[in-house]
Amino acid sequence: METSHSAKKTSTAKKPATRKPSGNRSRQPAKHYSPSKSDTRRKLRRTLKMLAWCIAILIVICIAALMPYALSGAPKGGTLHIPQGATQQAVTDSLTRLFGEEYSGRVTTLLRMLPDSKRPRPGAYLIEKGMSPMRTAIHIVRGGQTPVRISFNKVRHAEELASRFAAKLEPDSATFLAAMGDKKLLEDAGLTYEQRLSLFIEDTHEFHWSYSPQKVMDKYLKHYKEVWNKERRDKAAALGLTPAEVMTICSIVDEETNDSGEKGKVGRLYINRLQKGMRLQSDPTVRYALGDFTIKRVTKEHLAIDSPYNTYRNNGLPPGPICTTSVKTIDAVLNSEPSDDLYMCAKEDFSGSHYFTADWAEHQQNARKYQNALNERGIH
């Protein structure tokens, strides 16, 4: 049949052959090369090694450049004073005067490099021998002042004390003297102008050289109030005295004797005389009135001095203390044992100790012993 023959012909017809790819394949696009992790690590190590060498070289260069600033020391010790409002040039000049141009130049160079150095901080800076320029510059920029210690003993006049302050601190003596007489300051302490020396109870205090007089006064006022606490005020009141009056008595006691063991006895004697309405008749007050503490024998001529400090001519206490005093003397007077003593006389052995008595006749005997000893030594 025709139809079946066609179908057979169709089924037996060859299929078109599939073409095999020829040996010359078409070129594929080149793949991008990605370095392995080990390659990356090697490159990083090389880079870090180079960077480390660069840093090391830079450090060596910096050390070499800074060596003179870090290792060379001050040729000698000294204190650099930088007043209020000082310029950098003024600081350089002071450094040059103290330590020479080479050391001064290195410190100045560093000061210009350091922050906050355009306005030098006022103060007193202790530069030790061998201190490096770097350390000195940092010391100044940080304001590391060396504290100034002030202490005194038996200062007799406010002017003298003001001079002592001025010798250790920046302000002058006139400024200190004015501050010592400040009305508000004295009112706060409960003192009169004549009693202003009482504010300065003997002790050792630390100040910065650049402190103002007001700041110094405030420190002494604080100390005065700490000393005169409620307990001591109550003891003074029990004796019928104010703190200011006790301070004046203590100043006389300190001038009368250097024997700490008898300061309380001397203080109690004067309190007894005050309570009985007797004049103190204290030789140190006469010396103070005369302005001469070298007098070894107080005579009638000396006693004639017309002064409110002459306790042979005036009743009660003098207007103010005749010298500064200490906490030790204050406590010796406040805690002194009650006694009947009204008279005292220096011993003839010139030991600095005294005879004490309530009997006038006995006192006259003691006085003759001392007068004879003075005569024997040719003290008139």
Structural domain spans, the chain: 71-141, 148-227, 230-376
Report for 40-54, 67-81, 139-153, 319-333: range of highest mean pLDDT: 319-333
pLDDT at 9: 43
pLDDT exceeds 80 at position 69: no
User: What distances in angstroms separate CA 18 from CA 11, 12, 14, 269, one per listed residue?
Assistant: 18, 17, 12, 144
- In this predicted structure, the answer to whether residue 34 has a pLDDT above a threshold of 70 is no
pLDDT of residue 145: 81
Return the SS3 of 149.
strand
Greater model confidence, 352 or 157: 157
Measure CA 184 to chain center. 25
What one-character-per-residue DSSP string does 202-218 give? Answer: B--EEE-TT--HHHHHH
Sort residue 45 into left (φ over 0), alpha (ψ -120 to 50) or beta. Answer: alpha
pTM above 0.85, yes or no: no
Specify the higher pLDDT residue, 127 or 218: 218
What is the predicted pLDDT for the residue at 58?
A: 64
How confident is the prediction for the chain on average, in pLDDT?
85
Provide φ and ψ at 181, rounded to 5°. Answer: -100, 10
Assigned token pair, 150: 């002030």
Percent of the chain beyond pLDDT 70?
A: 84
Residue 92: its pLDDT value, please? 85
- Quick one: which H or E segment has residue 108? helix 101-113
Residues facing residue 355 across a β-bridge: 345
CA distances from 111 to 88, 122, 271 (A): 9, 14, 62
Joined tokens for residue 284: 């140190």
Tell me which DSSP letter residue 373 carries: H
- What pLDDT, on the 0 to 100 scale, is given for residue 131? 83
Distance CA 140, CA 120 (A): 7
Does residue 8 have a pLDDT over 50? no
What average pLDDT does range 52-75 have in this prediction? 60
What pLDDT does 241 receive?
Answer: 97
Where in the chain does DSSP place strands (E)? 78-82, 123-127, 148-150, 205-207, 343-346, 354-357
299: left (phi over 0), alpha (psi -120 to 50) or beta: beta
pLDDT at 71: 52
Mean of pLDDT values over 147-175: 94
Percent pLDDT > 90 in the chain is: 53
